[in-house]
Chains A and B, each alone.
Chain A
Amino acid sequence: MNWFHPYELSRRAHVAGLISVGAIGVLLVAFFRVQVLASSDYRLRSEENRLRPVTIPAPRGLIVDRNGVVLAENVPGYSVALIASSPESLVAALRQLAPVMPLTDAEVARFASNFRRLPNQPVVLQRDAPFDLVSALEERRVVTPGLVIQAEPKRRYPVGEIAAHAVGYVAEITEAELAADTIRGSRPGALVGREGLERVYDRRLRGRDGIRYVEVDALGRTVRTSDVAATLVPKPGDTLYTTLDVRLQEFVARNFPPDTRGALVAMDPRTGEILALYSAPSYDPNAFIGGYEREHWAELAGASTFPLMNRATQARYPPASPWKLVMAAVAAQRGLVELDTRMPIPCRGGLQYGNRYFRCWKSDGHGDVTLTQAIQHSCDVYFYQLGLQLGVRNLLADAVRLGFREPTGVDLPSEVQPQFPASTEYYNQRYGPRGWSSGVALNLAIGQGENAQTLLKMVTFYAGLANAQGRVPVPHLVARAVGEWRSLGLDDEQLAGFRQALLAVVQGGTAAAARVANLHIAGKTGTAQNPHGADHGWFIAFAPVEDPSIVVGAVLEFAEHGTVVAPLVNRVIAYHLQGPNALPALAGSYHLVLPEDSAPEAVPILPDTAVMLPIRDDSEGLR
């Protein structure tokens, strides 16, 4: 057999042709499957390949006061970021940028480690870059193709420190929050409300981010930015209309004694609207913007004065003498006393109970006084006896019913719960069933003992005394559906009597020097004894007494200048009711007699719900 025989050759040529055509046929089938049958899948993948969604940050909603004055707004800002393919190329690009953007070695190392953590994302070099830096970098875009300069609205708080605790602040979302995905619509670099209203109403303020697409190459570098795909327009956040009155707030901040810790709350007793809420020392919320929030936060959180704490809602103080009105109210509600009721034992400067002697703050004694007079002069002996008449069980039950174990429900974050025994069971567990006597009622009756309330809680109680219905409002900064107001259970006559008694405090009682001409202010002073230094001063007042439209409460820690508490509060009331020109009557020097409402014995406040109590050691322990 000869393989070169034409017959053999043509036979094999036939087979060879078939093999060639068959091989090409197989290839064609494969291409048919990829290009025709699966074409849409691959087309989608090619789009995913080249189109990268870039978030257009939604402008955060404004926060305005009751008159439309802006408390939080957005101003244009620019963030500078760098896309790189490796840490080495990132460092090289940073070196290239050094003439316009000098960086320390530590910063370069930090950026490199950021890059290693999230290699697919641009490394943010600077949020809120100044305009001259942005323009200088813009010129270098050609030589540094990975440079991303994006307009990013940044937050600004025009009134700064003045309303810091009410408005709060925003900061960039953390990686932990991103990983946990607890915040809806979160993305790297998103601003999240951290404190105050910014935090509580974060969702409403945030809006919905938009998306635009950029075309990128295989290394992730931007090639084209416009007209590559449809853009989703961002939806700006809602404007938050608050009940704050920024002029009043400003007045409070300006008149708050300097270098003093404390808080002041002004509220409309008819609605529960908070008109002003100030906590001192304050902080500048603008300092959290621009990438240094963590350092700034650490600095503030480490400060011995705890400026981040909102002392109106997050600090508990022994309620002291203002608490006497709570006692009077529950006793009157139970029908135990009328406003002209006298106690069996007149005040001789103290009261012997069992084997202990409970002193009145006025060692000379107040004599035989009615309830009105006892309130006016803050007579401890009268309230010792009132507490005994009520009994520990009733006293605790009524106070708990009035909500003195619950937060006020204000729309501010991290409000602490007041500390107050739920029932006598507390004492049984603490001291044993026979380890305590009804003597604790004496302490409780004058606002000492196992009792620590927030300023806001006490102010809402006085708002209840002040408003026509005698109901304790739910305080709020933004109008919203709130729960039912608690009734004090007092009739109109009793309410009017208490208001007159409180008026007498200011007109001729413990706060007489803080009187404001032409204005009937009703209020109650208080001093919480502080073993570590000067006392904490309280003053809570409302006006005008005929039809109260404002209630203001203030507490000053270690009130070395304790005499300023009542004048401060009254000036705030006067400012609110009579306008900025009504102040001369108050301009003189004041001498305020603050009662030394002493606790008879040291009773520690027990950590019932000890949440966020950084000043516990200094200000809440009682002698």
Chain B
Amino acid sequence: MTQKGFDKRLLGTVAVLTAIGLSTLYSAGKTDVPTGLDDIWQRQLLWLGLGAVLGAGAYRISPRLLEWSAPPLYGLTLALLAITLVFGTGAGTAAGTKSWLAVAGVRIGQPAEIAKLATILMLARHLEARRRPAQTMRELLAPCAIVGAPFVLVGLQPDLGSAIVFLGILFGVLFWAGVSPRLLLMLASPLISLLLAFSTLSWGAWIVILTILLITWRPYVLEGALVWLGNVAMGVIALDLWQRLAPYQQNRLLSFLNPEADPQAAGWNIIQSKVAIGSGGLLGKGFTMGTQKRLAFLPALHTDFAFPVLAEEWGFVGVTAVLALFGAFLLGLVRVARQATDPFSSVMVAGIAALMLTHLVENVGMTVGLMPITGIPLPFFSYGGSFLVTCCLAVAVSLRVAWESRNAGYVGR
């Protein structure tokens, strides 16, 4: 493989983000109270080393091989997810869930993370064969099924946050594969209906709007009726679904709506996170000097709430810089997807971009109170082996796609 065509810009962005992430983890270990996180950045460095080695390997794999291996990889991760569901264990703040796969008591990883990548590959392989964008709901059944299986398996763990990522991937990939916004909206409408069902008024208004839209857009009668009925059904079962949620999930959603209702328990995380972010101000308190962090007011500061550590110590300036880097990273991925030599690579990279965007919005939005709290990591920042390795692999295959397009003469080197 030639060095020419290597996308230095994308890797450079990732390298800077990773470095900032590592420094944030280093700072997260500097607390005034024992948290056992002193060496967390070193452990993350080890995982990064593993990710780099695996990424270098993935960089050498042709997209053709990936395309070929997508179904077995997908099947394998589904099997892993199924095993996890039966034998999995919980950890840390989510001790009650079954998201970890352990061998002889040693936790080796969270299959949900690698399943995201496998699902992207499987979706890409499915969509590359269909150059004509899907026109009907019926044509969307297959991609929905591909995403649906891991979605259900992860949702049963239960890991709502990761399950939502699968939805982000599905919609991102379908959009990239030319599915019209109308169809996407019809696909998403039952979910919207579910969300709005907590208020009868808003739900009723939504049903009226949907009916008008369906009449205007004139899909197939059967599909239109199914979509409409699906929306109504969601509205009806919403309450039942709510009651099936675990109490901690209910509390998370309720405290998202009103954190001050129970500031010591359910609202604690979001309140302390916002206090950390807000007290950082414009310029921050200085590297490792965040008081909210030092005194352990910030919960899960090495995983879910790593970003508030950065926000507290570097202020709005630091937040802007990091978000700008994430923006550059996402735009870089989109560029790679656009310049890809073949539809499989293109969809794959688009899926990776959707994955990253969903993680970013969900995690960072959560820390500032825009999103409900779901335990979902921030790429390159949060401590976590499986996810870091997944990110490294995702970056590696993206770099490979970029290399392909440059060496194929698709774009200038």
Listed in ascending order, the chain A residues whose CB lies under 8 Å from chain B are 1-4, 8-10, 12-13, 15-17, 19-21, 23-24, 26-28, 30-32, 34-36, 38-39, 41-43, 45-46, 49-50, 215-219, 221, 223-224
Contact = CB atoms under 8 A, between A and B. Distances in A.
B22 interface: no
Interface stretch (B57-65, B152-160, B212-220, B334-342): B334-342
B369 interface: yes
Contacts of B275: 42, 45-46, 49
Interface in B291-340: 291-292, 295-297, 311, 315-316, 319-320, 323-324, 326-327, 330-331, 334-335, 337-338
Contact of B315 (A10, A35, A50, A215): A35
B393 interface: no
A162 B25 CA distance: 68
A35 B334 contact: no
20 contacts: A3-B131, A3-B343, A13-B335, A13-B338, A15-B175, A16-B337, A17-B334, A24-B326, A27-B368, A28-B319, A28-B323, A30-B368, A31-B311, A31-B316, A35-B311, A42-B279, A43-B281, A45-B278, A49-B295, A224-B32
Interface residues of B, number: 52
B343 A46 contact: no
Given A27-B368, A30-B368, A217-B33, A4 B343 contact: yes
Contacts of A46: 275-276, 278-279, 291-292, 297
A215 B294 CA distance: 11
Contacts of B338: 9-10, 13
Interface of B: 32-33, 131-133, 172, 175-178, 272, 274-282, 291-292, 295-297, 311, 315-316, 319-320, 323-324, 326-327, 330-331, 334-335, 337-338, 343, 346, 350, 353, 357, 360-361, 364-365, 368-370
A17 B178 CA distance: 15
A32 B319 CA distance: 9
Contacts of B133: 1, 3
B335 A35 contact: no
A34 B296 contact: no
B318 to A, nearest CB: 10
Nearest to B370: A30
B297 A218 contact: yes
Contacts of A19: 357
A49 B128 CA distance: 55
A49 B268 CA distance: 12
A223 B331 contact: no
B311 A30 contact: no
A23 B360 contact: yes
A471 B56 CA distance: 109
A275 to B, nearest CB: 59
B325 to A, nearest CB: 10
A36 B331 CA distance: 27
Contact of A20 (B277, B315, B316, B331): B331
B267 to A, nearest CB: 13
A20 B327 contact: yes
B175 A50 contact: no
Given A9-B338, A31-B368, A39 B281 contact: yes
Contacts of B350: 16
Contacts of B320: 28, 31
A49 B272 CA distance: 9
B295 A217 contact: yes
Contact of A35 (B33, B177, B319, B324): B319
Given A42-B278, A46-B291, A217-B33, 9 more contacts: A9-B337, A12-B175, A19-B357, A24-B323, A34-B368, A36-B282, A46-B276, A49-B272, A49-B295
Contacts of A41: 278
Nearest to A27: B364
A589 B395 CA distance: 113
Contacts of A223: 32-33, 295
Contact of A2 (B131, B277, B330, B334): B131
Contact of A9 (B315, B346, B353, B357): B346
Q: What 9 pairs between A and B have smallest CB-CB spacing?
A: A42-B278, A3-B178, A46-B279, A13-B338, A20-B330, A35-B316, A217-B295, A39-B281, A217-B33
Given A26-B370, A28-B320, A16 B175 contact: yes
A456 B33 CA distance: 63
Contact of A216 (B175, B295, B335, B337): B295
A32 B320 CA distance: 9
A16 B353 contact: yes
B131 A30 contact: no
Contacts of B276: 46
A364 to B, nearest CB: 87
Given A23-B357, A43-B281, A49 B364 contact: no
A84 to B, nearest CB: 15
Nearest to A28: B323
B279 A16 contact: no
B277 A1 contact: no
A49 B33 contact: no
Contact of A32 (B176, B316, B370): B316
